[in-house]
């Protein structure tokens, strides 16, 4: 069996083989993702994807810990990263350390991810200096949806320089990788050329050092939500709809359960 990948292994991929990442929130999916991916992110997207929240703002430490524990039970090779949720790290480096340490101790993850650039760089430095590998996240940062005014493409035109400065600041502070979300492909390529650690793109074009998608998006679990940057590799939502429709029809027609699903009163052959 291949050894467990560490944050340092991911960092060392700069300029080499692309870093393959997906999110996971449950043990069975984590087991499958672990067979094919280098890095598994327990994203705070879990709040929207599995809990029906309207944004990631309502996600709690308790939710991240519960899903982190579930994912941790399914992993043996991939590097496991857990998101710090909104409100758990912005106040001070000390608050961030306390919550990041709790995520690591209670889930067994090897690193945490937090959103932000220049303004959060001191916190990244504080965590890394105290033994917590940090993955950063710049560009579209969904926890800031209310100040950004929506889930819009970031860094178009002159704003690109600010996103590059954000990526550089967190890299200088010691982040081992940087997620680039929803940027023009040219800017994704430029940041990937400029910074010394792997960029992990989501809607940031083909020239990032790795890619990540939300697992439920790429599996087609939803019918409505379909951003441009998501490719659907399966249609599990449609399959589930068909399966549940067939089950309901068979129960109503009393054709399920059949004899093969039912128990007899007497055991045959002793
Ligand atoms: O929460 C999440 O799933 C993420 C990825 C989209 C990068 O932050
Ligand atoms: Na996230």
Residue 176 banded pLDDT, cuts 50, 70, 90: very high
Query: Would you say residue 256 lies in a domain?
Result: no
Range of the domain at 26: 7-218
Read off the CATH number of the domain in which 127 is found: 3.20.20.60
* Residue 125, in any domain of the structure: yes
Is residue 176 in some structural domain? yes
Please report whether residue 182 resides in a domain: yes
What is the reported pLDDT for 1? 58
In a domain, 239, yes or no: no
pLDDT digits (tens, 9 = 90+) for 131-170: 999 999 999 999 999 999 999 999 999 999 999 999 999 9
For helices 93-107 and 121-129, the axis angle rounded to 10 degrees is 50
Note if 181 is an active site residue.
yes
pLDDT at residue number 242: 97
pLDDT digits (tens, 9 = 90+) for 8-34: 999 999 999 999 999 999 999 999 999
**Number of domains present in the structure of the chain:** 1
Q: Is residue 251 part of a domain?
A: no
With respect to residue 224, please indicate whether it lies within any of the assigned structural domains: no
**What's residue 2's pLDDT?**
67
pLDDT value at 225 more than 80: no
What span, in angstroms and rounded, lies between the C-alpha atoms of 142 and 45?
Answer: 9
Q: Does residue 177 belong to any structural domain of this protein?
A: yes
| pTM as predicted | 0.96
Q: Is the CB of 23 under 6 A from ligand 1?
A: yes
pLDDT on residue 209:
98
Could you tell me how far CA 209 lies from the centroid of its own chain? 16
Whether the pLDDT of residue 224 is over 90: the answer is no
Which residue out of 31, 94, 106, 181 is catalytically annotated? Answer: 181
E strands, the chain, are 19-23, 39-42, 79-83, 111-115, 134-139, 177-181, 199-202, 210-213
Indicate whether 36 pLDDT > 70: yes
CB 40 within 8 A of CB 24: yes
CA of 179 to the centre of ligand 2 (A): 10
CA of 25 to the centre of ligand 1 (A): 11
């Amino acid at each position: 069996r291949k050894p467990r990948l560490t944050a340092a292994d991911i960092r060392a991929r700069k300029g080499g083989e692309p870093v393959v990442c997906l999110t996971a929130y449950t043990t069975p999916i984590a087991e499958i993702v672990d067979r094919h991916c280098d890095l598994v992110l327990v994203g705070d997207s879990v709040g929207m994807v599995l809990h029906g929240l309207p944004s990631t703002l309502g996600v709690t430490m308790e939710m991240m810990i519960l899903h982190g524990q579930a994912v941790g039970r399914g992993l043996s090779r991939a590097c496991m990263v857990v998101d710090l949720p909104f409100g758990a790290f912005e106040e001070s480096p000390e608050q961030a350390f306390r919550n990041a340490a709790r995520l690591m101790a209670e889930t067994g993850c090897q690193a945490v991810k937090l959103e932000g650039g220049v303004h959060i760089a001191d916190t990244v430095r504080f965590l890394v200096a105290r033994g917590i590998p940090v993955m950063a996240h710049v560009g579209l940062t969904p926890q800031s949806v209310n100040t950004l005014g929506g889930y819009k493409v970031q860094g178009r035109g002159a704003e690109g320089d600010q996103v590059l400065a954000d990526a550089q600041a967190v890299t200088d502070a010691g982040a081992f990788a940087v997620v680039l979300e929803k940027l023009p492909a040219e800017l994704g390529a430029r940041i990937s050329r400029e910074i010394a650690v792997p960029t992990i793109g989501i809607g940031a074009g083909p020239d990032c050092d790795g890619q990540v998608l939300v697992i439920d998006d790429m599996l087609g679990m939803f019918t409505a939500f379909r951003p441009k940057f998501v490719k659907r590799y399966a249609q599990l939502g449609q399959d589930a709809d068909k399966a549940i429709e067939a089950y309901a029809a068979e129960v109503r027609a009393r054709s399920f359960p059949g004899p093969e699903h039912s128990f007899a009163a007497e055991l045959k052959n002793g």
